[in-house]
Amino acid sequence: MGVNFFNLKMKTYLLLIPIAFVFACSNISKNDKQKVDADSIKKVDYSPKNASCAKPIKDPNNPKPMALMMRMMADNADSMKVQLLRGEKLESSHYPFLRFYLLEPTDTSVLKLQFFENARLFQESYNNLFKNSNQKQMYNVVIGKCINCHEMYCNGPLKRIRKMFIDM
């Protein structure tokens, strides 16, 4: 397909969002910031077209960098699945490996030897995905590695991850 426009779009948004908030929110007074309460906490579309400072919004989960990167990895996996179901070949240049294990996790107690071994096994299977002729099967192996680790450390996203499998 050429360029993976989803990844390009995500990278552009990630760069533009902080810039947009700096300029758009620079005129909020201290009083306005103190008016934020539990009622203003909700999920929101963070795209620049919806950036607004009228009601500041907090993420109730205060996601850490590792969690945010794993969400990007999940979006990539969704894109890979669609591409594979169309019969298209995945290219590693469109889906570079994201070194999530180097970022701050939500719970630092997970940073143990087994976590890093799981990350190594995941990276190995991820790299094999692009080298193998049966990419659907290798994609499922990658998703299995995600599940193996999440069953041990963070089971919240398991329902979403299990839906990523490709029926064969």
pLDDT of 93-126, one tens digit each? 999 999 999 999 998 999 999 999 999 999 999 9
User: What is the residue extent of each domain of the chain?
Assistant: 5-50, 65-162
Q: On the CB side of 106, how many CA atoms lie within 13 Å of its CA?
A: 12
pTM: 0.65
Statement: residue 79 has pLDDT above 80: yes
Q: Determine the Cα–Cα distance for residues 107 and 69; give it in Å rounded to an integer.
A: 15
- Please say whether the beta carbons of 79 and 4 come within 8 A: yes
- The Cα–Cα gap between 18 and 91 comes to 30
Q: What single-letter DSSP state applies at residue 95?
A: S
